[in-house]
Structure 1
Amino acid sequence: MVIEGNPVSASSMKPLQRLQIALLFLAFILIGATEGGVGVLIPSIQLSYGLDKAVVSLLFLAGTSGYLTAAILSGLLVEKFGHRNFILFGTAIIFAGAFLVTLQPPFVLLMLVWLSLGFGIASLDSGVNSYVASWPHNSAILNYLHGFYGVGALSGPLAASFVINNGWSWNNTYYVWCFLAALVLISFRLVFSKPLETAKQELHTKEAQTSGENVLLAALKLKVVWLTALFLFLYVGSEVSLGNWGYSWLTQQREQVAWFAGWLVSGYWMGLTLGRLTLARVSQWVGTQRLIWGCLAGTVSGILILIFLAGTSGVWLAIGLALCGYSLGPIFPTTIALISNIVPERLLASAVGLLVSLGSMGAAFFPWLAGNLAEKLGLWSLLPYLLVLTAIMLLLWLMLFRESGVNSKRPDPENKL
């Protein structure tokens, strides 16, 4: 692990270093909470503004526009301003955007605010991801980090359900995100008093060829970066589609009561969190490729349970959603860890920015497409739709490993955290 440039193990970390790591985890709780709570709020936003599913889905596209801009530029911005200032800037944008949502502006203005929220979330997401990805032996650590995203994504639906079930307006949920963003912003400013430096890893052989080149353009030339980005484009789209439309599917298609549906969606995010926390070290034993194959197989199994068994009992609803979340959980951080071992260190921030930007496009495009399919065909189409996306992911993962030349049987090196 690296804190301000110094490799340390868990046993040798000082209290300040532990606090810094905890703050990075808190930042990902903020990201997860702001994104995870949206699905529960969608029906209330529809009712508040008098919109149909297709129009309200434009919020996803607005959010991804800001997210995409920040994520693509992250490598250039990190190189110019450093990880610390980039992360502080992103957190400040999240705070300002959440506060504006509490005012419940007209829908056109709300879309602009959603765009700014996407920009802030991408800055925080890309900044922390690329910083942690630069550490040696980062696969397990990235899974732990994204596990705390799951903690936030689990808390988000619970907080949103609490607000709605108590008869309060949906926008009051964003007071909670304002408080959390302020806590991260102030704490990060105080605890990280020095610029964040990355570990000095062995550079890729292509480093010398790109040392004088624009980092974004150099990263865009790597085929393996595009394959990985496309894979995460579909992955994040699948994860968010189920998380955001799952509540509507449960209440309208499966006729579950609101409080139970809220808990089931939280169970999905809990499964995602537990998957990252409990499977973090599995790649050390079975290899990265086998771990992802197993996760994709588990995702298919969970969807099939929801299609064929969920109508018989609410228990099967809980099992299917939890299994989907548990299986999907490790895929994103494990893929980020993979790319950090392939691309040169100088290009890592730009490569990670491209990955999260394509992921954000998936988080906007595929839920938007799911909403349009639901509007035209009905919410029953959600699960077959997810099966198709998962099948394409399987093909892309096979192409990625053939291109990268990574040995699927070689376990990851031991992680010291």
Structure 2
Amino acid sequence: MATWFLIIIYLSFISLGIPDSLLGSAWPVLHLEIGAPFGSAGLISMIIAGGTIVSSLVSGSIIKKLGTGTITLISCCMTAGALLGFSFAPSLVWLAVLAIPLGLGGGAVDAALNHYVADNYKAHHMSWLHCFWGVGATAGPMIMSYYIANHNSWREGYSAVSIIQFGLVIILLVTLPLWKRVAKLHHAAEVGNSNETQSDGLEGSHTGISSPPAKVKVHPTRLKGVKFSLLAFLFYCGVESTVGLWGASYLVGAREVSAELAAGWISMYYGGITIGRLITGFVTLKISNRVLILAGQLIAALGGLLLLLPLPDVMTLVGLILIGLGLAPIYPGLLHETPARFGKENSAQLMGYQMAVAYTGTTLLPPLFGLIASGISISLFPAIVLAFLLLMMLSSEQVNRVLKRSRSEA
């Protein structure tokens, strides 16, 4: 039963990834058909991310009332309906309205499933959970590319993804009792091991929910290194979403690649994230998170450099794939390092702050680049991406330096 249940969870995270990569893949042809300004993709992205932030912040109390399974079901219904609406949207205003339930539904699924897996399963399951997000994010541009190339219709691409989402809704509806049954089993295990900090075979919650936190003398945001950690999350999600949203437009506008080929190349970028997280799930048993995070940042920076240099188009594809591979271990690794860096007694609050700042990066940085591209040129895309990557690396490494200095002083 545990295996089948994990499959359901992974399928749910696939549904979270598919919509995240659709807008950027469709935008080169979408904005022309509906008469929207080129830079307005940033506005839609901001509304989606804003809804995600709101639903993530309130998800904790809602999960306690309704349960993870019910929240996931409701959220998938919202995203499926919003995607179906996108396929019929006649104007930018309609896209903006439909972006609200799309963001709210996506944020609720993200928070609920991250919490559930972190609280009940081992560390490698977290990497694989985000790997399946990559599966969905990779499939999105592939689906859109197919419908643009063969049917000359981005609307049919959105319709196809909506049908997939509604299929998942049916699966979740049928298996809803399984969520409640597994929740009871986990609760029984916790009660049976109430004198232990962790149950055998399961990883203790790195969000600090499974055991009462110790009394905190200093507010978590005042701990040494926390502000740099928050900046690392800001720039990580900023660069990941900027490449996903504007990569296809850069390829079409600056490199003169066809819209369907550009969507396929962005799919390869998300494929790099997916494959990287699949591999990360295995190597976490042998290599520390700190080493994986640094290695990922260096690989991503190399990919950004390949985009910046005047190289043949094939090297642009290689650069996108390297950025995806490099980004793969960073987000799960940073999340998992939180209790080790700042203490389990502070991790509960810091997890929420880090995810909120991460979504803020998704909300603000892609629209910021949209303004730059509209006012100056889309050709600045490689330089901005590389700058975000370097700022993320500097912030993350500064956390390590601050903590090392703090421990040596102690």
- TM-score for the superposition, normalised by structure 1: 0.82
Q: Tell me if 1:387 matches 2:386.
A: yes
Distance in 2 between the 1:243 and 1:309 partners? Answer: 21
Q: Distance in 1 between matches of 2:221 and 2:159?
A: 39
The match for 2:288 is 287
Please, which moves more after superposition, 79-88 or 196-205?
A: 196-205
Q: How far did residue 114 of structure 1 move? A: 0.3
In the aligned structure 1, how far is the partner of 2:244 from the partner of 2:318?
A: 15
* Residue in structure 2 matched with residue 175 of structure 1 by the alignment: 159
Given that 1:302 and 1:319 are in contact with CA atoms closer than 8 Å, whether structure 2 keeps it comes out as yes
User: Alpha carbons of 1:231 and 1:76: their partners in 2 closer, same or farther (altered >3 Å)?
Assistant: farther
**Contact kept in structure 2, 1:69 and 1:119, CA below 8 Å:** yes
The question of 1:132 aligning with 2:117 is answered: yes
Query: Would the alpha carbon gap of residues 225 and 68 (structure 1) be closer, same or farther in structure 2, given more than 3 Å must change?
Result: farther
Q: Shift of residue 118 of structure 1? A: 0.4
2:385 maps to amino acid: L
Write out aligned runs for 1:124-273 (5 A). Answer: 124-135=109-120, 137-138=122-123, 140-193=124-177, 194-195=179-180, 196=183, 197=186, 200=190, 201=198, 207-209=213-215, 227-273=228-274
User: Any residues of structure 2 matched to 1:5-404 within 5 Å, and which?
Assistant: 16-135=1-120, 137-138=122-123, 140-193=124-177, 194-195=179-180, 196=183, 197=186, 200=190, 201=198, 207-209=213-215, 227-310=228-311, 312=312, 314-339=313-338, 344=344, 348=348, 351-401=350-400
- Distance (Å, rounded) in 1 between the aligned partners of 2:383 and 2:339: 33
With over 3 angstroms needed to count, the CA separation of the structure-2 counterparts of 1:123 and 1:158, relative to structure 1, is: same
CA distance in 2, matches of 1:268, 1:123: 25
Structure-1 separation of matches of 2:109 and 2:346: 19
Encode CA deviations 1:147-194: one digit per residue, 9 max, x unaligned. Answer: 111111111111111122234432222222322222222222332414
- The answer as to whether partners of 2:26 and 2:263 remain within 8 angstroms in 1 is no
1:107-128 Cα offsets, whole Å, 9 max, x none, are: 2232121011001000001111
Distance 1:65-1:299 versus aligned 2 partners, 3 A rule: same
CA distance in 2, matches of 1:37, 1:406: 44
Aligned counterparts of 2:354 and 2:70: Cα–Cα separation in 1: 21
Residues 73 and 169 of structure 2 are in contact (CA less than 8 Å); yes or no, is this contact kept in structure 1?
yes
TM-score normalised by length of structure 2: 0.84
8 Å contact kept, 2:339–2:347 = no
Deviates more, 1:238-247 or 1:167-176: 167-176
Deviation at 1:220, TM superposition (A): 7.2
Q: CA deviation at 1:321?
A: 1.2
Q: Is the 8 A contact 1:206 1:344 kept in 2?
A: no
Rounded to whole Å, the distance in 1 between the matches of 2:3 and 2:375 is 51
After TM superposition, give the deviation of residue 136 of structure 1 in Å. Answer: 5.1
1:250-272 superposed Cα distances (whole Å, 9 cap, x missing partner): 11111123333222211111111
Indicate conservation of the 8 Å contact 2:145/2:261, yes or no.
no
Alpha-carbon contact 2:269-2:324 (below 8 Å) kept: yes
Distance in 1 of aligned mates of 2:346 and 2:8:
25
**Which one-letter code corresponds to 1:371 in the other structure?**
G
The structure-2 alpha-carbon separation of the partners of 1:92 and 1:49, relative to structure 1 and needing over 3 Å to count, comes to: same
Amino acid at match of 2:249: S
| Residues in 2 aligned to 1:154 and 1:65: alpha-carbon distance in whole angstroms | 23
After superposition, what is the alpha-carbon deviation per residue over 1:2-46, rounded to whole angstroms, capped at 9, x for unaligned? xxxxxxxxxxxxxx2212111111111111111112111112221
Instruction: Tell me the distance in 2 between the aligned counterparts of 1:406 and 1:27.
Output: 42
The alignment of Structure 1 onto Structure 2 pairs a total of residues equal to 382
Q: Share of identical aligned residues, percent? A: 25
CA 1:100–1:223 in structure 2 vs 1: closer, same or farther (change >3 Å)? farther
Mean Cα displacement is larger for which, 59-68 or 254-263? 254-263
**DSSP-derived class of the 2:141 partner:** helix
Deviates further, 192-201 or 320-329:
192-201
Letter in 2 for 1:303: G
Bigger mean CA deviation after superposition, 336-345 or 287-296: 336-345
Q: Which moved more, 1:30-39 or 1:278-287?
A: 278-287
Post-superposition offset of 1:222: 7.2
Query: Which string of whole-angstrom CA distances, capped at 9 and with x for unpartnered residues, describes residues 301-330 of structure 1?
Result: 1111122253x3x32122111111111112
Match of 1:213 in 2: none
Q: Which stretch of structure 1 is more off in the superposition, 149-158 or 226-235?
A: 226-235
More divergent stretch after superposition (394-403 vs 331-340)? 394-403
The whole-number CA distance in structure 2 between the counterparts of 1:292 and 1:392 is: 14
